[in-house]
Structures are given as structure tokens and as C-alpha cells.
Structure 1
Amino acid sequence: MDVEIVGRLLSTLPADDDHPYRTGPWRPQTTEWKADDLTVVEVEIPTDLDGVYLRNTENPLHPAIKNYHPFDGDSMIHVVGFRDGKAFYRNRFVRTDGLLAENEAGHALWAGMMEMPDWAIREDGWGSRRRMKDASSTDVIVHRGTALTSFWQCGDLYRLNPYTADTLGIEDWNGKFPYHWGVSAHTKVDEATGELLFFNYSKEAPYMKYGVVDENNDLAHYVDIPLPGPRLPHDMAFTENYAILNDLPMFWDPAGLEHGIHAPRFFRDIPSRFAVIPRRGQTSEIKWFEADPTYVLHFVNAYEDGDEIVMDGFYQGEPEPQRKAKTFEEKVFSYLALDNLQTRLHRWRFNLSTGAVKEEPLSEQITEFGMINGSLGGRRHRYVYAATGKPGWFLFNGLVKHDLETGREEQVSFGEGVYGSETSMAPRVGSTSEDDGYLVTLTTDMNEDASYCLVFDAARVSDGPVCKLQLPERISSGTHSTWASGEELRRWRDAEDPAAAVGL
């Protein structure tokens, strides 16, 4: 492995830090690496694996003003690229405006998720509640050959070089997007059309908006999705002809909002509502459907089946876990553990002709952060690749392949003390079926104080990794990821070293 340190950022975190989500598997990094010809620890790199895996995660540089939450940390992108049986690695902080300002100040300037907005040192800021730092540390996608990172509570989208993870600036869709509300975390790319679909939300009426960016990167559509009040949606879904948005009964307590307190509460007597709108439809064309009350952090996919829209996602059996906790932090962190939330794969059916809703559980297994073969976005899918969680913690300790036709589930454990990332599906070059490809994830191995990139055969997950690559440093545990095939990337084959490709 050819390794080079290309940068370091100053951290002011205490040397004796004991915060549970800034230590152990969540210990942040300060070093940025350039590593070529990654060392193969086991087996070999498949020659028909071609493209880049990108993972985003929170990686804090400074202590919070008072109370740190894992979603507050600065964004760090990890890239593992595969071509011609070789692999490279890069990691970079996303140079958001918030990170640059706090780096210059040497301390936190904005309030985090577990802090009052009034505690912020600066009066400006981002987020649907405002006065937050846009960390851009939640999701990462690739649209038109450029990586985009996003913030869970609405912020700017940051453009990145998908090979090097270098920050290229804020995406404003050719200067046509009014960024007052920002963009929520989970934008969706339809690989069949090249369109990007997104939503955002605010404390201002109409409380939600929805938009479409076309294949030329122009904002082609942007409409209101009126809600009864401020809500906290996190994800959306789409089909070939429709977008599906949501109004779920987990939102800031209105009584608390009157006093500036942003405390989420689950209202068990309010139904879940789903808005189905033609992908370029008007507000007047929205059809609303009611379902059992729950909260859904992530949807997997949706597709059309006759008069029905079928949507799969992770239903929370306990959106507001009732757990005994010694401290305020422990109570808040109980909302992060998958077993506490009781997250299970679930299906909703919305009949566009009759307005009827049917729903059913698809698995008894507790999983979340599901991924599919991206070429089937908005189309019928069979397989979902999802994460299992360490009991009581926000850590992924394995993965499950859900077969939604047979009900069969293949499970892989990473092993005691080893934690993974959201696992992306990478179709092999010339793939001919839905699971003809590879699963790619990054691990944090506390036993070996090291990190690895694991590659599984998507058709035989339980056989274990077909390739294991060593990274230059143990990385912080993380979440969302994406895969971009080589054919989606500009100049991927123009340079002898794909990591040196330019021309974005």
C-alpha cells in the first residue's frame, strides 16, 4: 500500500474525552489520507468490480457548546475506488461554511441537536429550526458524476470530487435554487432518467416543499406540500411516475415550541400520512393516505403495481422508547439504538383508485439502513440489504439480505467488536440479475485497532467476504453510503490512475 498524509485539521476535543459517541468506535479522525494499491488482507479484488464506494459520517473537531449529539459532527467522506483489480482510498473533511468558520474560531459557534438555539454564539445558521451548523454529515449521493453531501435537518448540498472527496463548493443547480430552506438529507437519484428528487421542510408555512432537478442539473420543478404544522420528515420515496412524501406523528411538541424548546414527541393518536404526487405534479394533485401511527427514518424503495403504489421502509414499533436512563444523554441516545426503536422492514400499499391503504410487516428481524440495486430505484425490487445493530447502541454489527419474494434472510455478523457502515450494492460489470454484483462496506475493528473495506458476493452473502482490504487508519464508525459505477463517472478511464481523474 502506497500511503501519504495529505492534510490534518486541528481538533480541540479533550485528550481525556469520555463522551460515548466521541470515543471507542466513534473516535473521530483528524488526518486525511491518500492511499493507493490497498493491501489485500484476504482473497483478491474482483476484476469486475468497477466504480467508487463513498461513505459519509459525523467526525467532530470541537466540543459542543454544552451537549454533543452524534448528528452534530463535521462531515468526513471516505472513498474506496475499484478498477482493474486494484483499489485506492481517500478521506476528506467536507469544507462546509460552518466547519471553516469554527476552525477559524477554534470552537463551536452553533447549537447542536441537544441544545437550545439561543445557546448558539452566532445568530445565523442552518437547519429547519435555524441557528444550527450545516455539518453536511448525513447522506452522500452521486448525481451527474458529482458527489453531493447533505445535512439531516436541511442545509446546503456540497459538491465533491467523487475520486478525491475534495470539496468543490455549494450546489445551487445553475443558480436557480432559493436556498432559504435548504435541502433535506435524503435526495433521490433516478438512474433511469438522470433526475434528482428532493424535499425540504421548515417552521414556516407551508412547512414542506418538493422539487425535481433534471438531467441537465436545472431546477425543473418546485412546489408546496402543505402540512398542518412543523414536522420532522427524514426520507422520501419515488416510483416511475410519483413521489411519496410523509407527515408522520413524530414532531416538535407545539407547547414546547411556544417557549423555544425543540423537543420531538411521538403522538400515538395521530395517524401517519403519506402524500403521493406526480413527479412533476402540482399541489392540487396531491393524494393523501392515512396509515398506522409510526415514524420511519428510512424508506427502501417504491414501485407501481397496477392501481397501487407499493412502498417498503423501516417501521418503528417504539418511535419514543421508554427506557430508564441515569442521565439526559443516555435518554437521548436510547433513540438511536435499532433494538430500542424496534425497526423492522414493512410494506405499505396505496390504492390510487380507491384511496385504500394496506400495510404488512415483511420481517421479524430488527434491521435498518436498507439498500437495493440502485438501477431498480422506483421499480420493482426483490432484495434489500440492511444493517443489524448492537443492542443499546448506534452501531452496525452485521448485515442481512432480505429476499422479499421467498421471505428468506441471509445474515452475516461482523464479529464481536467490529462495526460496519451502510452497505451499498455494486452491480458487477455486465451484470444480468438483481443480485449479480457485490456488497461493499467499511468496518471499524476495535480488536485490531484497524479499519477494513469488506466486499461480499451479493448472491451469496452468508459465504463471507470475497475480499478484505486494509485502510491506513482506524476510521470512525459511520452510516450512509452510496455506490457509483465507473460508467457514471467522468474521465474514469481517461487517466492511468482513476483517483487522479479530473474535469468535473
Structure 2
Amino acid sequence: MDVEIVGRMLSTLPTDDDHPYRTGPWRPQTTEFVADDLEVVQGELPTDLDGVYLRNTENPVHPSLKNYHPFDGDGMVHVVGFREGKAFYRNRFVRTDGFLAEQEAGQALWAGLAEPPYLSLREDGWGARGRMKDASSTDVVVHRGTALTSFYQCGDLYRLEPTTAETLGKATWNGRFPFDWGVSAHPKVDDRTGELLFFNYAKDAPYMHYGVVDASDELVHYIDVPLPGPRLPHDMAFTENYVVLGDFPLFWEPEALAHGAHVARFHRDLPSRFAVVPRRGQTRDIRWFEADPTYVLHFVNAYEDGDTIVLDGFYQGDPSPRDNGMGNQWERAFRFLALDRMQSRLHRWRLDLRTGLVREEQLSDSITEFGMMNGTYAGGDYRYAYAATGKPAWFLFDGLVKHDLRTGSEERYAFGDDVFGSETAMAPRVGSTGEDDGYLITLTTDMRADASFCLVLDASRVSDGPVCTLRLPERISSGTHSTWAPGAELRRWRETDRAADAIGL
């Protein structure tokens, strides 16, 4: 492995830090690497794996102003690229405005999720709460050959070169980016149309918008999605003709919000609501469907079955776990991040467009979340979902499950004791002929070996374990969201950009 250190960021975190989401598997990094010809420590790297796996994560470099929340860390993107039986690695901080300002100041400047906004030393910044740093640390997708990182509380979309993770600036959509509202995490890319579908939300009416960016990177559609009040949506889904947005009864307590406090509460007496919107429809075209009260952090997919929209995601049996006095102070404080405490299970809603009724069914008894799929099937009928299992009481992934949605069967792979993974992306094999004809890719942090690895598994034989294990140059911080971008698609966009430059576009 040929390794080069290309940067070290200023960090003021204490050496005696005891916060569990800034230590152990969540210990942040300050070093940026270029590593070529990654060492294969097990198996053989497939020659029909071509593209890049990208993973975003929260990686703090300064102590919080008061109370650190795991979602407050700065964005860092990891890239593992594959071509012709070789692999490379890059990692870079996302150079957000907030990150650069805090590097210059040498300290945190904005209040985090678990802190009152008045603590902020700067009043600018994105976020539905206001005066909150846009860390662009939540999600990553690839649109038109460019990686876009996003923030769960809405903010800018930062543009990154997908093979180097170098920050290229912000998305502007020729000046039509919704700068006053930003964009939420989890915009969706439809590979069939080349469109980017997105939503945003805030504390001001109408409380939500929905928009479409076309394959030419133009904002071509943007409408109000009126809600009863401020909400906390996190994800969306799409079909061939519709998008589905959520209004769930876990949101800020209105009375507390009126006094400047942000206290989330699960309102058990209110239903879950799904907005079904034609992809180029107007506000008047929105149809609302009511379902059992829950909170959905992530959807897997949606598709049309005649006059019914089939929507799959993770139903939380207990969206607001109570403090039962069990565990240490950290387990109790962050109990709402643990999959077992939230009782998160794969679930299906069937939205009948003729009757307006919803039928629901639990698809699995297993506690899983962060579901991924073969992206070429997104928006259409599909069979497989690849989800994470969690360490009890902690926000750590300790294995993965392949859900077969037709048979109900499951295949499992456990990472092992004290090994924790990332969201698992599905990479179709070059010349793929089936939905699970490809590979699953994830990054792991092995606490006993004090090292990190990239695992490549056969998507059709998950329980067999990795077909290849690659060593990374440093133990990385645990993380969440990821994506896969095929190499042929990235090269096509690179040639398109060269041609545009040649004629002065």
C-alpha cells in the first residue's frame, strides 16, 4: 500500500476525552490520506468491481460549547475506489463554511443539537433550529458525476469530486438553490431520468417544500408542502410517477418551541401521514394518507403496483424510549440512537390511490435499520434490502442482514466482537444480470486490531462473509450513510465535462 499524508486539521479536543461518541469506535480523525494499491489482507479483489464507495460521517475537531451530540461532528467523506482488480482510498473533510470558520477560530462557534441556540458565538448558519452549523455530515449521493453531501437539519449541498473527495464548492443550480431553506439530507437520484429529487423543512410556514433538479442541473420544479406546524422529517421515497414525503408525530413540543426550547416529543395520539405528490405536481395535487403513529428515520424504496403505492421503510415501535434506569449515563442519555431501544423493524405500507386507505404489515421480526438496495431498481419493484444490525444500547452497527422481501428469508453476517461497520452499499457487478448480482461494500472499525478495513461481500451469498478484505491506512471513526457510483458513469460524466470545456460551456 502506497500511503501519503496530504493534510492534518487543527483539533482542540482534550486528550482525556471521555465522551463515548468522540472516543472508542467514534474516535475522530484529523489526518487526510491518499493511499493507492490497498493491501489485500484476505481473499481476492474482484476484477468485475468498478466504481467508488463513498461514506460520510460526523468527525468533530473541536469540543462542543456545552453538550456534544453525535450528529454535531464535522463532515468527512471516505472514498474507496475499485478498478481492474485494484483499490485506492481517500478521505477529506468537507470544507464547509462552518468548518473553515472554526478552523480559523480554533474552537466551536455554533451550538449543537443538544445545546440551546443562544450559546452560539456566530448567528449565521443553516438549520431548522437556527444558528446551528451546517456540517454537511449526514448523507452523500452522486448526481451528474459529482458527489453531494448534505445535512439532516437542512443546509447547502456541498459538491465533491467523487474519486478524491476534494470539495468543489456549493451547489447553486444557476442561482436558484433555495438558500433561505436549504436542502435536507437524503435527496434522491433517479438513475433512469437523471433527476435529483429533494425536500426541505423549517419552523416557518409552509414548513416543507419539495423540488426537482433535472439532468442538466437546473431546478425545474419547487412547490410548497403545507404541514400543520414544524416537523422533523428525515427521508423521502420515489416511484416512477410520484414522491412520498412524511409527516410523523415525533416533533418539537409546540409550547416549548414558543419559548425558544427544542424539545422533541412523540405525540402518540396523532397518526403518521404520508404525502403522495406527482413528481411534477402542484401543491393542490398532494394527497395525504394516514397510518399508525410511528417515526420513520429511513425508507428503503417505493414502487407502484397498479393503483397502489408500495412503501418500505423502518417502523419504530418506540420512537421516544423512556429512561428505564438501565445502563450507564451515556447509554441512558443517547438511548434514542439505539436500534434496539427504538425497536426498528422493516415495514411495508400500501397506499391505495383509489380509496385513500393504508394497509400495513411488518416485514421482519429482526431489529434492523439503514437499509440499502441495488440503486438501479430504485423506484421500481424490487426484492432485496440490505440493512444494518446494531449493538444493543449503542449507535454502532455490528453486522448486516439481507432481507428477501418475496420469501421473507434473511441472510446474516456479523462483523465480530468489537468490530463495527458502516452503511452497506450495493455495487452491481460489471455486466450484472440480476438484482443481487454484485457486491456489498462497507467500512469497518476493529477495536481489537486498532485498524479499519473495507469489506467486499458477494451480495448473493452474504452469510459466506467477505470475498475480500482491504486494509485502510488508519483506524477510522465509525459512520453511517454511504453510496455507490459506477465507474463507467463517472467516466461518462468526466468526458461530458471535457467536451463542454472544449466548446466553452
TM range (shorter): over 0.9
Aligned to 1:501: none
Q: Are 2:465 and 1:457 equivalent residues in the alignment?
A: no
Aligned to 1:422: 423
Q: Which runs of 4+ in 1 moved over 4 A?
A: 325-330, 491-494
Structure 1 CA distance, aligned partners of 2:381 and 2:323? 38
Aligned to 2:412: 411
> Secondary structure at 1:100's aligned position in 2?
helix
Superposition TM-score, scaled by structure 2 size: 0.97
- 5+ unaligned residues in a row in structure 2: which ranges? 496-504
Structure 2 CA distance, aligned partners of 1:127 and 1:454? 34
Structure 1 CA distance, aligned partners of 2:62 and 2:47? 41
Q: Is the 1:76–1:93 contact (alpha carbons within 8 Å) kept by the matching residues of 2?
A: yes
Which deviations, in whole Å up to 9, do the C-alpha atoms of 1:51-70 show, x marking residues without a partner?
00000000000000000000
The Cα shift of 1:479 comes to 0.3
Matches within 5 A, 1:29-428: 29-325=29-325, 330-428=331-429
Q: Identity over the aligned pairs, expressed in percent? A: 75
**One-letter code aligned to 1:158:** Y
Structure 1 CA distance, aligned partners of 2:239 and 2:259? 40
Aligned to 1:499: none
Structure 2 CA distance, aligned partners of 1:196 and 1:118? 35
Structure 1 CA distance, aligned partners of 2:48 and 2:230? 47
**One-letter code aligned to 2:15:** A
Structure 2 CA distance, aligned partners of 1:468 and 1:178? 42
Q: Is the 1:486–1:492 contact (alpha carbons within 8 Å) kept by the matching residues of 2?
A: no
The Cα shift of 1:323 comes to 2.4
C-alpha change, 1:405 and 1:327, in structure 2 (3 Å) is closer
Which deviations, in whole Å up to 9, do the C-alpha atoms of 1:240-260 show, x marking residues without a partner?
000000110000000100110
C-alpha change, 1:259 and 1:328, in structure 2 (3 Å) is farther
Aligned to 2:499: none
Q: Is the 1:345–1:368 contact (alpha carbons within 8 Å) kept by the matching residues of 2?
A: yes
**One-letter code aligned to 1:65:** L
Aligned to 2:501: none
**One-letter code aligned to 1:68:** Y
Structure 1 CA distance, aligned partners of 2:174 and 2:2? 38
- 5+ unaligned residues in a row in structure 1: which ranges? 495-503
> Secondary structure at 1:196's aligned position in 2?
strand
Aligned to 1:434: 435
Matches within 5 A, 1:465-484: 465-484=466-485
Structure 2 CA distance, aligned partners of 1:359 and 1:258? 35
Which deviations, in whole Å up to 9, do the C-alpha atoms of 1:26-72 show, x marking residues without a partner?
00000000000000001111000000000000000000000000000
Structure 2 CA distance, aligned partners of 1:215 and 1:266? 39
> Secondary structure at 1:353's aligned position in 2?
coil
Structural RMSD (CA): 1.4
Structure 2 CA distance, aligned partners of 1:123 and 1:414? 43
Q: Figure out how many residues of one structure are paired with residues of the other and give that number.
A: 496
Deviates more, 1:322-331 or 1:220-229: 322-331
Structure 1 CA distance, aligned partners of 2:386 and 2:296? 17
Structure 2 CA distance, aligned partners of 1:323 and 1:383? 35
Q: Is the 1:454–1:468 contact (alpha carbons within 8 Å) kept by the matching residues of 2?
A: yes
Q: Is the 1:390–1:396 contact (alpha carbons within 8 Å) kept by the matching residues of 2?
A: yes
The Cα shift of 1:418 comes to 0.2
C-alpha change, 1:328 and 1:101, in structure 2 (3 Å) is farther
**One-letter code aligned to 1:351:** D
Structure 2 CA distance, aligned partners of 1:154 and 1:474? 30
Aligned to 2:498: none
Structure 1 CA distance, aligned partners of 2:472 and 2:121? 37
Q: Is the 2:445–2:452 contact (alpha carbons within 8 Å) kept by the matching residues of 1?
A: yes
The Cα shift of 1:490 comes to 3.1
